Amino acid sequence: MDAMEKKIITDLDLKGKRVLIRVDFNVPMDKATGEITDDNRIRAALPTIEHAIRFGARVILMSHLGRPKGKVDPKYSLEKVAVRLGELLGKPVAFCPEFVGEKALKMAHELGDGEVLLLENTRFEPGEEKNDPDLAKTIASMGDLHVNDAFGTAHRAHASNVGVAQHLVSAAGFLMEKEIAFLGKVVENPEKPYVAILGGAKVSDKIGVIENLLKKADKLLIGGAMMFTFWKALGYKTGQSLVEADKVELARQLIDQAKNAGVDLMIPTDALAAEKMESGSMTKVCTAREGIPEGLMGLDIGPDTIHRFKNAMQGAKTVVWNGPMGVFEIDDFAQGTREIAKTLASLSQALTVIGGGDSAAAIEQFGLADRVTHVSTGGGASLEMLEGKEMPGVASIASKKKRKIWIAGNWKMNKTSSEGVEFAQALIKGCMTLTDQVEAVLCPPFVCLPGVVNACQGSAMKVGAQNMHPEDKGAFTGEISAPMLKDLGVTHVILGHSERRAIFGEIDGFICEKVKSALDHDLIPVFCVGEVLLEREEGKTFDVLEDQLRLGLKDLSIEQAESLVVAYEPVWAIGTGKVATADQAQEAIAYIRSVLAEIFDQATASQISILYGGSITPENFRPILSQPDVDGGLVGGASLKESFLELIQIAKELT
């Protein structure tokens, strides 16, 4: 997960725009007075907010606080947060006593450039945590752009972080960008040697993390109460220590997995035990072999383990730490956690990342947070990222576009010549300018081509045909050749469309001849591939796509391939009212790109624009186009209406 692939706030034109920024102001408050006891999370959001103000945005902030469970609860109000934020910004922050509603909408629309509004707790609305689509649409109506800077909620699909991105361009704030950059690096591309340190209470909380790290880390150091489940698995006595009895067998399996993977799984050789989890309790260092006697519980790693763990970290290029080594909140049992923190802080040549939660609190407590590379602000979010899970709040952020975006309208057998010209003129009038990064192509029936080509002259709109024969001329009744299209001024041609395959029986070899003919005459082929519903249900999607690509592009040179546009058509989503999810579209198109890399080469595959074509509408297009490998849309029904202009606008927004 590369932060460089995601849009960030600096990619947006903010001047005069109402910018909805999802922040994490879930700050601790004194139960008696309601005063903020720690404003670090507010301070963490300041760079993003100040940037938006500096560039003339009308800033609308959204955050949750506590767990009000979808009901208004005054003790979870953000009103005092607005006051503190104003103090930190050095300017007034307006506060709206509701999250959504007439007052919120009015206050949002009355904001001036550089002004700031904080909305009431998002979780006062029951639809927030359910990612209610109607609530998301209502939220989006208050803004022009969306910025997600709340990494702490990135593992949750809520209306204010994920749902709203269905309706507005979503970019990462600076805090989110930093989290993706550092946690993404330790998950996907860690520099070796790579040491991971895991602590905390339960193995069950870290199963996914351990399994993922066993594929990547060179050493995995286990501490915290979870160590005693491993001790139990090794046959050591654990006294009154916390042990997950139902996870002992799993611990044995993880030990075996580590051996098979060649990972040095370091389980503590001793522990500091006491009768009670209280300051001043008598303590005893117990080795693993002698075990912890009845009546005592392990509350920290022991001195030998501290020494071994510190040595294991020397020379590491990447170190990630999630979970304390003991009950660090009580000084008697904080030595293990403190020594790990101090050693991490001394590794000046390593990338050192603290994975949020208690380990972040510990390194703050010891005053060492500024001496490590990154301290994550997300507890559960950082855990899920370390597991390698996809994060909804990250996935919904738009990806930067590396290639040109194409919006191609396939009119199919619709519109007469006069209707086509009139419609083309209306589209051109509504879309006077296109950026260099967006191409719009109208593909009308053949009888409309002369008039539409003429109407589009002098505009940015291109014109394509829906089909052609591979031969230049001959006894092919009713067919049209590439030279004929070229003579009309056509620049593109759709080939291999699912309807041509299904209704007219076109096979891959015949389509390949068409592609070559189009390229020979300097026409840009929009080459279509895709699976039917039965093939998808039988798990054959990738097989079908690979066959169509290899046979349909057989013997093409790299130079020819550079002029290709490919369109993925999930046939089961065409004219059925169904649409592939953004994830399904990305998965299929990423696979197509991987096959193109095998057929040609990686550099060529990375340049080819690949479109999605399956019941596209302005309502569903944005999240699909936000995916990193999706480069536009081959549009059917929506291209026959002026909503085609909305699709072009979405493409322009996402460049």
Report which listed range, 208-212, 356-360, 560-564, is most confident. 560-564
**Long-range contacts: 66-69, Cβ < 8 Å, 24+?**
66/26, 66/121, 66/123, 67/123, 68/121, 68/123, 68/124, 69/123
The string of pLDDT tens digits covering residues 98-107 is 999 999 999 9
The string of pLDDT tens digits covering residues 387-440 is 888 899 999 999 888 899 999 999 999 999 999 999 999 999 877 667 678 999
User: Residue 484 pLDDT more than 70?
Assistant: yes
* Residue whose token pair is 């050591």: 236
**Model pLDDT, residue 599:** 97
Q: Are 610 and 567 in contact (CB under 8 A)?
A: yes
Sheet with strand 297-301: strands edge to edge? 283-287, 270-274, 297-301
- pLDDT band of residue 592 (cuts 50, 70, 90) is very high
The question of whether 497 is a catalytic residue gets the answer: yes
Catalytic residue among 146, 167, 497, 521: 497
Q: Comparing C-alpha atoms, which of 427, 476, 433 is closest to residue 448?
A: 427
**Model pLDDT, residue 624:** 93
The string of pLDDT tens digits covering residues 495-504 is 999 999 999 9
Q: Collapse the DSSP code of 264 into the 3-class scheme (helix H, G, I; strand E, B; otherwise coil) and give the result.
A: strand
Query: Which CATH fold topology does 3-175 show?
Result: Rossmann fold (3.40.50)
The string of pLDDT tens digits covering residues 179-195 is 999 988 888 889 999 99
User: Residue 3 pLDDT more than 70?
Assistant: no
Q: What is the pTM of this model?
A: 0.83
Would the CA dihedral through 385, 389, 394, 400 be positive or negative? positive
Q: Report whether CATH 3.10.300.10 matches the domain 405-654.
A: no
The string of pLDDT tens digits covering residues 609-620 is 999 998 899 989
Distance of alpha carbon 14 from alpha carbon 18, whole angstroms: 8
Distance of alpha carbon 71 from alpha carbon 209, whole angstroms: 34
C-alpha distances (whole Å) from 10 to each of 48, 55, 182, 625 are 10, 10, 19, 20
Query: Which CATH fold topology does 190-367 show?
Result: Rossmann fold (3.40.50)
**Model pLDDT, residue 563:** 94
Residue 95 one-letter amino acid? F
Q: Comparing C-alpha atoms, which of 568, 632, 638 is closest to residue 596?
A: 568
User: Residue 2 pLDDT more than 80?
Assistant: no
Q: Which residues pair with 171 in a beta bridge?
A: 147
The question of whether 479 is a catalytic residue gets the answer: no
User: Residue 356 pLDDT more than 80?
Assistant: no
Catalytic residue among 120, 125, 506, 569: 569
Domain boundaries, the chain: 3-175, 190-367, 405-654
**Model pLDDT, residue 15:** 96
- pLDDT band of residue 357 (cuts 50, 70, 90) is confident
Q: Are 286 and 275 in contact (CB under 8 A)?
A: no
User: Residue 1 pLDDT more than 60?
Assistant: no
Q: Collapse the DSSP code of 448 into the 3-class scheme (helix H, G, I; strand E, B; otherwise coil) and give the result.
A: helix
**Model pLDDT, residue 430:** 79
Distance of alpha carbon 157 from alpha carbon 142, whole angstroms: 20
The string of pLDDT tens digits covering residues 306-355 is 999 999 999 999 999 999 999 999 999 999 999 999 999 999 999 999 98
C-alpha distances (whole Å) from 235 to each of 188, 291, 346 are 35, 9, 35
Shared fold status for 3-175 and 190-367: yes
Q: Are 450 and 456 in contact (CB under 8 A)?
A: no
Residue 442 has, within 13 A of its CA and on its CB side, a CA count of: 36
Would the CA dihedral through 519, 523, 524, 527 be positive or negative? negative
Q: Are 52 and 14 in contact (CB under 8 A)?
A: yes
Q: For 109-179, list the strands marked E by DSSP.
A: 116-119, 145-148, 170-172
**Model pLDDT, residue 4:** 61
Would the CA dihedral through 82, 83, 87, 88 be positive or negative? negative
Higher pLDDT, 477 or 580: 477
